[in-house]
Structure 1
Amino acid sequence: MIRLCMMLLWFGIVGAVSASSSHAMTLEEALATALRQNPELQELRLEAESAEAQLDKARLPLIANPVLETSGSRREMDPEEEGGSVTNYGVRLSQEFEVAGQRSIRIEVAQKNLSRVGFEIADRERMLRHEVKEAYATALASKERISLAKEVVKLREDLLDLTRTKYRAGDVSALEVNLAEVEAVKARSELVAAEQSHRDAILSLQGVTGTGIDLLPSVVEGELTPDVIGVPDRQTLRNALRERPDIKAAALEVDRSNRAVDLVRREAIPNPSLGAFYDRDELRSDVGMVLSISIPLFDRKQAERREARARLEQARIKRAGLDLTIEREFDEAYTNLVSSLRQLSLYKKEIVVKSLENLDLLNLAFKEGKIGFYDIRLAQRDAIDVRFAYLDALLRAEQAINNMERTTGGNLR
């Protein structure tokens, strides 16, 4: 009975593992999983929480806490007078105030920093979508390559069987049989390589999406169909560059750094402290006000000013460099998009699909002796090359579309 229970438990575990490892993943599921689980995005979202906390701090009415001071002393009285002892004590309460408008600038700096982090999150999401689409397209192409490789194996094995049959009948030579065997072995080897490539593509997709190994999909759903009709207008795509989140983040960083320079300049102005005190001794009680202010003799925020100006210059250089990089990326992406779509337009899917179907007729003609071994071998090779070239063109077009979407930050379809 115990052995039976253990066997049932084992088969249940195996079945559960098989079920979890054989599920298919759609592109939408891959994108949602990546946006939810990607470690870099999670880190940036925590940085946004930190920026929100900095904004909350900047909004405090007073940047410094009040200071409470107490003092006390015990003094022995002159024995010739009254004798005994008296206790003297005092209490002071003071508060530092900002008088140069630092609070409003500090709030503005914190708000710009929070907005910048928000655009950085959006930019990382843009890049992550591209990475997921790229990995997903590669997985789709590798899956279709397996299907095509299986068709090639069947064609080569059918040709090998026909060649052996004709060899036994004395219609072909042993050399032709050997060539058919080599082609069949080569086809099976390419199928194994295609399956390994598909496994690698699935693992790459797992790394991009952050999917656990227990949820690793065995297949991906869909097919490569770059359904962009014609080449998009170049100027329309270029206009979309202004909406890229990294450009907005860089511009906000320049503004934030500029205001940070103003903030440091204001912080160099000493803040006065206003307080009240109460002192009592054996003779009298004193109540009064006290005003204190530091003298900026040594520290006038020289280092902070220099650092703020350097960071402002860094932000400006980064913004200018980003503009040049985006222009170069756009030119490359648009050129690749035009080239890949034109190359894809040379193929007609119906013709490409029928190219392998026609080989069945050629096999029949070879079987009936209407064509020779080398003719059908060459025809098979040409048809197979066309199918693989069409698959490569599909993948290049898909990658070019994804790359243009990454560059512009928008969608082409």
Structure 2
Amino acid sequence: MRRLLFIFLFMSTPCLLAQERLTLSKAIDEARQNNPDLKAKKYSIGLAEADQKRFGSFFLSNPEFEYESRSDRRYANQGEGGQSFSLSQEVEILGQQFLRRSIWSDRVDRTDAEINAFENDFVAEVKTSFAQLFAAQEGVAIGNAIVELNRQLAEGAERRFNAGDISQLDYNLILVERDRSIADQYGVESQLKSARAEFNRLLGRNADSSTEAVLDTTQPFQEYTLQQLTTVALEQRSDLKAHQLEESATGTNTTLSWMNLIPTPKFSIVLEKETSAFDRSNFTGNPSVVNGIDRLDDTDKLLNFRIGVSVPIVIPFLFGSNQADIQQAQVENRIANEALVSKRNTIAAELYSAFNRYQSARQSIALYQGINPRLDVNVALLTKGYQGGQIDLSALLVQKDRIFRTRLAYVDALLEYTAARAELERAVGGKLP
């Protein structure tokens, strides 16, 4: 009985059976491919490119074509009439179109940087969720071992109680321990279902998909300096690049607003055709001179071609003179400047916090790695002491609880380390050096 008891107490916790086992790298690849939030964010680059096409064309407005037909020969066979064709186009003469192209090129790049920043945060979220699922799986496995052990203890205690080998108090303690472990297991299994549902959501799967996280716990723990990571973060953080591009775009837009104070001329080309006919029936011709024509009609035709230009008159504070646009552009540029400063400060704070969290988690997991071998030694000593009658049942239960709690604490420390590393990667904007 004692030997069987320790087999259940100190055996390696079994892996959970699942339909599919996923490593972290495979999970990230699947999430990048299938997550609808990330896919929707990537589509936003199309909106920025559409705005670039809309506002980045050489001519800001479409050309205007005008046709006119006129005649006063409605009730008689004489009079004047004509047709005119005109084509006009506003032309920016100070190169505003090149500034607009620069603005929207920056904003397309800004949108791309925002997508990369979103993806970086998303990958960190997947890594954290993966670690939470792994920890929940380990918690269930350890909990199952605890429940099975307590059931074996209860069965053995019942036989020993009926035989009079143990007291009513010892028997009751074992029953309470058994029932408490079963109740705790319900909560642990619920946490596993919640962790799996959240992980499946990030992967674009159904919430109830059976998925098992397989975490490699053999990777060496790396050491970094805050200065080293700060340099990497300033180079890699896509959200910082997005703010820099927005500052550039708003600065160019301010220049464009000042240039728009200069009126934009409209050039036009006009083609006119006029015809006039008058009845001269009161004039009688000489047939010998005019070949028998006894009536004269006077018909004139005129073809006119001209080029014109019109320029708006700018009167500040009376007509629209772009003053409001200039003020708006200046304010937007100031906002972008302050937002860039704020983003740099935010990155520094995030990096400092993530670095300290990683350092603490790394030290904690290193301690637990040193504790685990001592647990194995304690197992051997407890086994020998219990089998030799040197340790009673109550002491065994206390030591059992400590050992299982220590193993659960190691799982929590592993979760914290994985989450802290993911947070540090998010803070530096990508992979760690």
Q: Given the two structures, how large is their TM-score scaled by the length of structure 2?
A: 0.82
Residues of 2 paired with 1:332 and 1:339: CA distance? 11
| 1:49 alignment partner in structure 2 | 46
User: Once the two structures are superposed, what CA deviation does each residue of 1:110-137 show, in whole Å capped at 9, x if it has no partner?
Assistant: 1111111111111001000001001110
Residues of 1 paired with 2:323 and 2:59: CA distance? 24
Using the TM superposition, give the Cα deviation of residue 366 of structure 1 relative to its aligned residue in structure 2, in angstroms: 4.1
| 1:344 alignment partner in structure 2 | 365
| 2:403 alignment partner in structure 1 | 383
| 2:376 alignment partner in structure 1 | 354
Q: Which runs of structure 2 are paired with 1:363-374 in the superposition (5 Å)?
A: 366=386, 369-374=389-394
| 1:409 alignment partner in structure 2 | 429
| 1:322 alignment partner in structure 2 | 343
Tell me if 1:288 matches 2:280. Answer: no
Matched pairs, number: 386
Q: Which runs of structure 2 are paired with 1:83-94 in the superposition (5 Å)?
A: 83-94=77-88
Q: 1:290 to 1:211 in 2, by over 3 A?
A: same
Query: Which amino acid in the other structure matches residue 185 of structure 1?
Result: D
| 1:331 alignment partner in structure 2 | 352
Give the secondary structure class of the aligned counterpart of 1:200.
Answer: helix
Q: Which runs of structure 2 are paired with 1:128-143 in the superposition (5 Å)?
A: 128-143=122-137
Query: Which amino acid in the other structure matches residue 90 of structure 1?
Result: S
Q: 1:293 to 1:101 in 2, by over 3 A?
A: same
Give the secondary structure class of the aligned counterpart of 1:347.
Answer: helix
Residues of 2 paired with 1:226 and 1:335: CA distance? 22
Residues of 2 paired with 1:391 and 1:91: CA distance? 83
More divergent stretch after superposition (186-195 vs 109-118): 186-195
Residues of 1 paired with 2:74 and 2:168: CA distance? 131
Q: Select 1:149's aligned residue among 143, 150, 153.
A: 143
| 1:38 alignment partner in structure 2 | 35
Residues of 1 paired with 2:430 and 2:66: CA distance? 61
Preserved CA contact (<8 Å) 1:71 1:89: yes
Tell me if 1:240 matches 2:232. Answer: yes
Q: 1:359 to 1:111 in 2, by over 3 A?
A: farther
Tell me if 1:160 matches 2:154. Answer: yes
User: Once the two structures are superposed, what CA deviation does each residue of 1:314-361 show, in whole Å capped at 9, x if it has no partner?
Assistant: 211211111111111111111111111111111236427637854982
Q: 1:328 to 1:32 in 2, by over 3 A?
A: same
Q: Which runs of structure 2 are paired with 1:153-302 in the superposition (5 Å)?
A: 153-213=147-207, 216-223=208-215, 225=217, 227-242=219-234, 243-281=236-274, 282=276, 283=300, 284-297=302-315, 298-302=319-323
More divergent stretch after superposition (401-410 vs 352-361): 352-361
More divergent stretch after superposition (30-39 vs 174-183): 30-39
For structure 1, the 5+ residue unaligned runs are 1-20
Q: 1:245 to 1:126 in 2, by over 3 A?
A: same
More helix by proportion, 1 or 2?
A: 1
Give the secondary structure class of the aligned counterpart of 2:306.
Answer: strand
Residues of 1 paired with 2:136 and 2:328: CA distance? 52
Using the TM superposition, give the Cα deviation of residue 286 of structure 1 relative to its aligned residue in structure 2, in angstroms: 2.2
More divergent stretch after superposition (42-51 vs 258-267): 42-51
Using the TM superposition, give the Cα deviation of residue 226 of structure 1 relative to its aligned residue in structure 2, in angstroms: 7.0
For structure 2, the 5+ residue unaligned runs are 1-17, 277-299
Using the TM superposition, give the Cα deviation of residue 85 of structure 1 relative to its aligned residue in structure 2, in angstroms: 4.4
Give the secondary structure class of the aligned counterpart of 2:67.
Answer: strand
Q: 1:289 to 1:382 in 2, by over 3 A?
A: same
Q: Percent identity?
A: 23
Q: 1:287 to 1:262 in 2, by over 3 A?
A: same
State the Cα RMSD in Å: 2.4
Residues of 2 paired with 1:321 and 1:105: CA distance? 27
Residues of 2 paired with 1:287 and 1:125: CA distance? 60
User: Once the two structures are superposed, what CA deviation does each residue of 1:250-270 show, in whole Å capped at 9, x if it has no partner?
Assistant: 111101110011112222321
| 2:64 alignment partner in structure 1 | 67
More divergent stretch after superposition (156-165 vs 182-191): 156-165
Tell me which structure has the larger Cα radius of gyration.
2
Residues of 2 paired with 1:224 and 1:356: CA distance? 26
Give the secondary structure class of the aligned counterpart of 1:288.
Answer: strand
Residues of 1 paired with 2:111 and 2:414: CA distance? 37
Give the secondary structure class of the aligned counterpart of 1:410.
Answer: coil
| 2:281 alignment partner in structure 1 | none
Q: 1:410 to 1:251 in 2, by over 3 A?
A: same
Give the secondary structure class of the aligned counterpart of 1:108.
Answer: helix
Q: Which runs of structure 2 are paired with 1:98-113 in the superposition (5 Å)?
A: 98-113=92-107
Give the secondary structure class of the aligned counterpart of 1:221.
Answer: strand
Q: Given the two structures, how large is their TM-score scaled by the length of structure 1?
A: 0.86
More divergent stretch after superposition (282-291 vs 382-391): 282-291
